[in-house]
Structure 1
């Protein structure tokens, strides 16, 4: 090949080189040749560059410093010189370069040949890597990198946070598999998840029990992410470790507190109900379920007024809003006696105390409710007992004082009869006096029985046997009449503990009243059902006749002592019956007196007594 053509080909290669190539005179330092890459990066023509030296495009160098730099090439102590510097373009902008400088011959003259690498991007990448490394080192999350291409995927990097979390230094970690942090605690579901993730090359997040260098357990919220090369092959795995020990410990403590609180609520005798500032129920304990007859699901999310009768139901929301607006308290922090309403519709007295809890964005109100039905009943019984005691004492004194007078009246009547056989008018008058005396004596006995203490002798028996015995005792009143006792009962086995003699007295009184009030044919129906209440299971007995029934005044006063609608009666029978039933822990009340069709059907009395 022609040497001149070879030189031209070589010159073309240098001209087209991606690197910048500068040739300058070894003595004058004037540029002799600069290839296209150098000219374009500097933004200068070859004519402009031949007027310059390397010092002219290096803003931080002087002729003296440059001469000192290249001196090893001049004296032959070095063949190649590599250094980093800045080049300045024609437009004044600078860029970083790496210079490879050699002393050579150019057209038989000594010259320096400089190969220039523009390192701006490389240095930027390096700088970015330094920033990222600094960021990784400064974050509070532990960072660990494993080499997926090596056997057992050893750790090749960990940051300071990882050292702080685990207690291990970098040199103790590098080359080991991350599983060493689990020590002997290998039976963890998260380990299976990690194995599947490493096998599939996907990302996963697990919660692991790990152990520090000192053996202390910590909960590791671990995020594992794969790093893939351009071919899609996983080369590394990056693990982000977040110590959740304090958070989990706080959650466990919170859960323990909530469990203890729930246990207290579940075992509390009082009903405990929580509502929000709109009156909507947020929680209630089992005692509240029992007291009101609603399940939790039926009440949660509903307005608390569903547990109130009118007019409290309609007034509650307005009262709550008035309090929130004005701060005026009527019950909050005070407590008072109110009326509640069970699911069955039954109203009952209760003591209510309400406390307020202020949260960040809302308020909650917690009510503690105590059913005082039994307390009220006991108080009424105590008052009644005190009244009966006073009445008994008065009756005893009255009976003592009047008994002699009645005896004298009886003796006088019997003596007068001996002398008036032929005076019929006088005989009639004596008979009237004797009847009045007998009625007065009977009244004394009734009052004495009503006021006397009830000493009950309980025994297990069936109520059917008791009312049938009472029915037999009314045989003399039913003689010659059309009377039917209708039993509407599922079974005769209606067992409960009662004083048979006293409870027979209750049924006999009800039967006798019905026989007096009804015209033939008389029908007296007894029905029995089983009921379930918050206070226990009960028998509910209905005794209903087909008479004219009770008017509003009679229904209201029927249990008042000395109230009667009979021509001959003391008015104590129903009062005594009520006292006997209540002494058994039961209740007796006037029923609706209506048939299923809505037609009135005589008088009805309801007895409820515990099974």
Structure 2
């Protein structure tokens, strides 16, 4: 049998209560439920009759029951409309024991039967869930802004900063709060660009004209200039009016520096090729000329424009002119080399129809899927003329000897004089032949050195240059924040290849100066440990992961008297090799000592070592051990080191075991004459 309500339902405006979208519960001063509308019963999972007369605490979690009783008693002492326990995170308990988030508003109701409380109950579980999700999404968005490796900034129409991410504020050297509300152009745009940039911004805002991409400069707090590439869009209010701009910027400063270094490296290579005394010609796999240097133009009598784009056979006399394309195709199909990497003497055809002999050295290069052949043309005209003169001179000498012999047969009395004269002539002949032969040998040696230089330059320069160009092109495409790792990877590749190109050029220039006798030792007194530590510190930036360069100076004497520049080059070369040929997480140890007679060094690594069968060739120009052919290098470094050591009257030796490591020992006299 249903319980009879404690108060008159009519007086409670039943129709109003039942039509409410919220749960309504009326309790007396003892906390007993005297009325509940249908919505309220459904909210807690009960029938209306099940709640009538029940303590209101039955609708609360156990943890809130005791506290609620005290709050209820306090409320009846001072009843007034208010939200219940605002900020305490109220919860309701359904009949099935499940808990939900609730908001409850209390209103006192004074009737003849006594004082009552009307509680309006709203289930806010879904709203709280949505609020939490929104807060989490806002935090995630802020994290995205903060970790993005680009500048993100929002400017209002008055050029004030409304928003800037963590990367942007750190790049400029400010706290975020220092930038917010400040005029962007007055604070970070260089003075010489400020008004032009400000005018550009104001015009675009006024015209509401899109300006998707452009470059500008920013000044950090320390005065460092950054070159930024911007992408922009407008932010509008609900009426569609432009209220601010959202800009995303990528710092191109380092990229620009690398590009400049690449251009300088290319210019240096171009200068070497254009100033070479021998002709250099590049053709593709079809025999079409791709490039010629000024020396080749002079040798053949054509301008570059008359040769480039035409078949190389135009520079050949018959029968080689007609057969040249067959030579290339046969090599490409069989791999059999007749000239490539070998070289031989051939004849060239000038524009005026005259022919001349030259030594041809050819190297093959593969670049971006293309096969290119680079030929070095060394004119043999003077050499042939010298050989002809030598032959003619020999014939003349033979005639003179014959004449003297006949004279001796006719004049017995002058035999001794004639014999003496003949011996003198023969001696002069031998000396002349020896001098000419020495000149020819030197010429051939220089020719071989030049050929190997061009071959080495073609290979060692083109591969890093191709890698750098490829990486720059890829970096230009990786503007998105999620491609930061790829950009960094290609920047490291560019930095590594630019350093390799610089080392190669330095080797070639050092060898050239040494061969020409333009290097002398300039001695001065200096602090030896300080200099060695400086070299070590410089090279630690090039060390592989986990590699350690450990330096020790033994003894109390620290002052040395040597050529500082030559010693730095020697130590730099030996330590660079130790880094290059040693694995990651290995130790490289350098020890210096000065005693009464000598200044001594040892440099020991844990690298790949030098095969015993090849150790005798270690200081030979262009020598590369067979276990190092896959590692970048010119084969000139140790040859240069030995020459530098000899310039300072020193000695160099080494011990090495393949797979264990190598130790170099240097010794210089303390006193220089």
Tell me by how many angstroms 1:277 deviates. 7.0
Distance 1:58 1:296 in 2: 96
Gaps of 5+ in 1: 401-611
- Decide whether the 8 Å contact of 1:145 with 1:236 is kept in 2: yes
Residue of structure 2 aligned with 1:135, choices 112, 127, 144: 144
For the 8 Å contact 2:190–2:217, the answer to whether it is kept is no
Q: Secondary structure at the match of 2:270?
A: helix
Which stretch of the first structure deviates more once superposed, 308-317 or 65-74? 65-74
C-alpha separation between the residues in 2 aligned to 1:296 and 1:87? 92
Q: 2: CA distance between counterparts of 1:138 and 1:31? A: 58
Equivalent position of 1:123 in the other structure? 132
Matches within 5 A, 1:190-209: 193-201=200-208, 202-209=210-217
Cα 1:126/1:187, change in 2 over 3 Å: closer
Partner Cα separation in structure 1 for residue 51 and residue 291 of structure 2: 92
Are 2:109 and 1:101 aligned? Answer: no
SS across alignment from 1:146: strand
* 1:316 maps to 2:331: no
Return closer, same or farther for 1:354/1:194 CA change in 2, 3 Å cut-off: farther
Contact 2:23 2:122 in 1 (8 A): yes
Is contact 1:224–1:238 with CA below 8 Å preserved after alignment? yes
Deviates more, 1:69-78 or 1:332-341: 69-78
The 1:187/1:92 distance shift into structure 2, 3 A limit, reads same
TM-score, normalising length from structure 1? 0.51
Closer, same or farther in 2 for the Cα pair 1:6/1:45, shift >3 Å? closer
> Is the partner of 2:159 in helix, strand or coil?
coil
Taking a change above 3 Å as real, the CA distance of residues 227 and 112 of structure 1, as seen in their structure-2 partners, is: same
Cα distance in 1, alignment partners of residues 62 and 26 from structure 2? 19
Q: How do 1:56-67 and structure 2 match up within 5 A? A: 62-64=64-66, 66-67=68-69
What displacement does 1:248 show?
1.0
1:285 paired to 2:289: no
SS at match of 2:193: coil
- Secondary structure, aligned partner of 1:223: strand
1: distance between equivalents of 2:308 and 2:37?
Answer: 87
Give the counterpart of 2:226 among 215, 218, 222: 218
1:315-394 alignment, distance < 5 Å = 315-323=327-335, 330-340=338-348, 348-355=356-363, 365-372=373-380, 374-375=381-382, 378-379=385-386, 382=389, 385-386=392-393, 389=396
Q: Secondary structure at the match of 2:257?
A: helix
- Counterpart of 1:184 (choices 173, 178, 191) is 191
**Is residue 2:181 matched to residue 1:172?**
no
Q: Deviations over 1:464-489 (max 9, x none)?
A: xxxxxxxxxxxxxxxxxxxxxxxxxx
Which of 234, 242, 254 matches 2:262?
A: 254
**Which residue of the partner structure matches residue 538 of structure 2?**
none
Offset, 1:366: 3.5
Alpha-carbon shift at residue 116 of structure 1 (Å): 4.9
Counterpart contact for 1:31–1:54, Cα < 8 Å:
no
| Aligned counterpart in structure 2 of residue 80 of structure 1, from 83, 94, 97 | 83
Distance (Å, rounded) in 2 between the aligned partners of 1:284 and 1:28: 104
- Relative to 1, partners in 2 of residues 1:339 and 1:75: Cα closer, same or farther, differing over 3 Å? farther
Shift of 1:167: 0.7
Tell me how far 1:245 sits from its aligned partner: 1.3
In structure 2, distance between residues paired with 1:299 and 1:87: 93
Task: State the 1:198 CA deviation.
Answer: 2.9
User: In structure 2, do the counterparts of structure 1 residues 389 and 119 end up closer, same or farther at CA, with 3 Å as the change threshold?
Assistant: same
Instruction: State how far apart, in whole Å, the 2-side matches of 1:30 and 1:77 are.
Output: 17
Distance in 2 (CA, whole Å) between partners of 1:397 and 1:376 is 31
Q: 5+ residue gaps in structure 2?
A: 1-8, 408-673
Measured in 2, the distance between the counterparts of 1:90 and 1:225 equals 55
1:21 & 1:147 partners in 2: Cα distance?
Answer: 47
**Deviations for 1:471-529, whole angstroms, at most 9, x for unmatched residues?**
xxxxxxxxxxxxxxxxxxxxxxxxxxxxxxxxxxxxxxxxxxxxxxxxxxxxxxxxxxx
Equivalences for 1:494-533 in 2 at 5 Å? none
Q: 1:319 Cα shift?
A: 1.9
Deviations 1:391-431, CA, capped at 9 Å, x for gaps: 98699999x9xxxxxxxxxxxxxxxxxxxxxxxxxxxxxxx
Residue 159 to residue 29, structure 1, CA distance change in 2 (3 Å): farther
Q: Is the 8 A contact 2:162 2:180 kept in 1?
A: yes
SS of 2:222's equivalent in the other structure is coil
Bigger proportion of residues as helix: 2
Distance 1:356 1:106 in 2: 105
Partner residue, 1:475: none
Q: Quote the Cα distance in structure 2 between the aligned partners of 1:54 and 1:345.
A: 118
SS in 1 for 2:108: strand
**Which structure would you say has the larger Rg?**
1
Q: CA deviation at 1:252?
A: 0.9
Aligned counterparts of 2:219 and 2:76: Cα–Cα separation in 1:
63
Q: Aligned residue for 2:119?
A: 112
| Corresponding residue SS for 1:119 | helix
Q: Name the residue aligned to 2:27.
A: 25
Match of 1:244 in 2: 252
Q: Aligned residue for 1:159?
A: 165
- Superposed, which structure 2 residues align to 1:411-490 within 5 Å? none
**1:281·1:303 contact (CA, 8 Å) conserved in 2?**
yes
Question: Is the alpha carbon distance of 1:86 and 1:393 closer, same or farther for their aligned partners in structure 2, counting shifts above 3 Å?
Answer: farther
* Aligned 8 A contact 2:41 2:51 in 1: no
* Cα displacement string for residues 547-596 of structure 1 (whole angstroms, at most 9, x for unaligned residues): xxxxxxxxxxxxxxxxxxxxxxxxxxxxxxxxxxxxxxxxxxxxxxxxxx
Separation of aligned partners in 2, 1:235 and 1:304: 66
Contact preservation (8 Å) 1:143, 1:240: yes
Return the alpha-carbon distance in structure 1 between the equivalents of residues 146 and 217 of structure 2.
24
By how many angstroms is 1:312 displaced?
Answer: 3.4
Of the structure 1 ranges 356-365 and 225-234, higher mean CA displacement relative to structure 2 is found in 356-365
Q: Following the alignment from structure 2 to structure 1, what is the Cα–Cα distance between the partners of residues 234 and 296?
A: 55
1:263 lines up with 2:271 in the alignment = yes
Q: Could you tell me how far 1:307 is from its partner in structure 2?
A: 5.3
